[in-house]
Amino acid sequence: MKIKSSNYIGINQKIPVSVLDMGLHKFLLNGKIDRDELQKGLSESIAGKNRLQKAVMHSVNILSKPKPIIAEIQKSFSAEKYLQLEKRERNVIILSLIAFLYPMAYQLLVSITSAFKEQPLVNAKLIKQNMSSIYGNNRALELGIYALLPMFIELEIIQRHKKGIYEKNPSYTIIDPVIKEIYLYVDIYLSESKTVKKDEIENRPWLFYNQVHLDDEFQTNLFQYQDGYLTIEK
């Protein structure tokens, strides 16, 4: 499966998912990103002025720069409705925002799918080896991997079996139709495909973790769904 070619890593420290979740709720409540609340939440787990400022910057970017997704979220969810979503549903939204801004997160999950299909446990060495074939063997890659893996754990995608060894959590089936669309949009946008056949969706590596089932009445805003094909403009 081809991914949009980019060696951009962008992220080098863990951002607590709980803070991003809170920040998105505040954004839907007030119509703007509350940097002070983000900084307050991040300061509970991140020490050092420079690291904290970088974490705030990453958080603001995650909650503002994936504009097609943010616009769809604003249109579809009030702050109250967002909080009523199951936690796993909100996790899918947060993952989609992270991956859209930092495609390395998408690539990381996609690249280890084949390993998880062959064996229940995957070690960090194999993960780095797979990713270095794309990004090169460098410090930025290592920092990116070790920033994202704990976030994937908090997002309930994987869990740490023991130090340096990870296992996949049971796949989650997305319920909300808007979140289904957002998750699929990220997959199609970040791959080199413009069009994906509906019947092939369940076999795509990105959907190994969060599954999407579509019926014939599926309504879309982010892409076209016609004659069994999903198509987006890039």
Q: Are residues 123 and 181 in the same domain?
A: no
Domain that holds residue 202: 176-231
117 inside domain: yes
Residue 6 scores a pLDDT above 70: no
9 inside domain: no
Q: Are residues 23 and 79 in the same domain?
A: yes
- Please count the structural domains in the chain: 3
Q: Are residues 97 and 107 in the same domain?
A: no
pTM for this one? 0.94
Of 76, 101, 126, which marks where a domain is finished? 101
Q: Quote the CA–CA distance of 136 and 146 in Å, as a whole number.
A: 16
Tell me, letter by letter, the H, E, C secondary structure of 125-178. HHHHHHHHHHHCCCHHHHHHHHHHHHHHHHCCCEEEEECCEEEECCCEECCCHH
Of 168, 190, 221, which marks where a domain is finished? 168
Q: What is the pLDDT of residues 131-190, one digit of tens each?
A: 998 888 889 999 999 999 999 999 999 999 999 999 999 999 999 999 999 999 999 999
203 inside domain: yes
CA atoms within 13 A on the CB side of 65: 12
218 inside domain: yes
Q: Are residues 58 and 114 in the same domain?
A: no
Chain centroid to CA 180: how far?
13
